[in-house]
């Protein structure tokens, strides 16, 4: 494991730790939270940042409000920012940012995962949505059929 001196991750649990969210409130709550305007600035107010810092923001589509605003806040503070996105997913998805921007618009470096559009791996016959297999059950749009 490689460790960097003074590496301090900024992780907002309401966006990353889905057990409490998916359990009681369902996936829709998590999808709502990642699109709340102003949440990125509220998260960052808890951290002392300077232009000596750097940031890594990861989003498959690069189109949700919080990740875009997070990169925008970093850029405004002079913090070098790397974004990891799927270029194809981003091109196929409309941004939810009020200014029409996407994550890559606020990144100094953009790394493309090469992943296809969507949040899953397998296209099911007769479906326009991507799905994936989990054990012996089909998982479709976050729910077991």
- Which candidate, 95, 2, 8, 17, places its Cα nearest to that of 52? 8
Q: What is the mean pLDDT of the chain?
A: 76
Question: For 84-141, how does the pLDDT look when each residue is reduced to its tens digit (9 = 90+)?
Answer: 999 999 999 999 999 999 999 999 999 999 988 876 555 667 765 554 443 333 333 4
List for the chain the helix, strand, coil content (%; round to 5).
30, 20, 50
Question: For 5-29, how does the pLDDT look when each residue is reduced to its tens digit (9 = 90+)?
Answer: 455 556 555 555 555 545 555 566 6
Do you know the residue count of the chain?
Answer: 145
Residue 62 has what pLDDT?
Answer: 94
Task: Dump the DSSP string for 48-75.
Answer: ---TT-EEEEE-SSS-SHHHHHHHHHHH
The whole-model pTM stands at 0.70
| CA distance linking residue 132 with residue 139, whole number of Å | 6
């Amino acid at each position: 494991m490689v460790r960097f001196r003074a590496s301090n991750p900024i992780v907002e649990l309401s966006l990353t730790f889905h057990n409490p969210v998916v359990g009681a409130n369902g996936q829709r709550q998590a999808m709502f939270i990642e699109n709340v305007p102003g949440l990125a600035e509220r998260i960052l107010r808890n951290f002392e940042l300077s232009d000596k810092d750097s940031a890594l923001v990861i989003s498959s589509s690069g189109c949700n409000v919080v990740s875009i605003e997070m990169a925008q806040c970093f850029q405004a503070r002079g913090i070098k920012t790397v974004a990891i996105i799927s270029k194809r997913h981003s091109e196929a998805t409309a941004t939810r940012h009020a200014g029409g921007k996407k994550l890559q618009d606020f990144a100094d470096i953009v790394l493309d995962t090469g992943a296809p559009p969507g949040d899953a791996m397998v296209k099911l016959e007769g479906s326009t949505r991507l799905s994936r297999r989990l054990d012996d059950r089909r998982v479709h749009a976050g729910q077991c059929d």
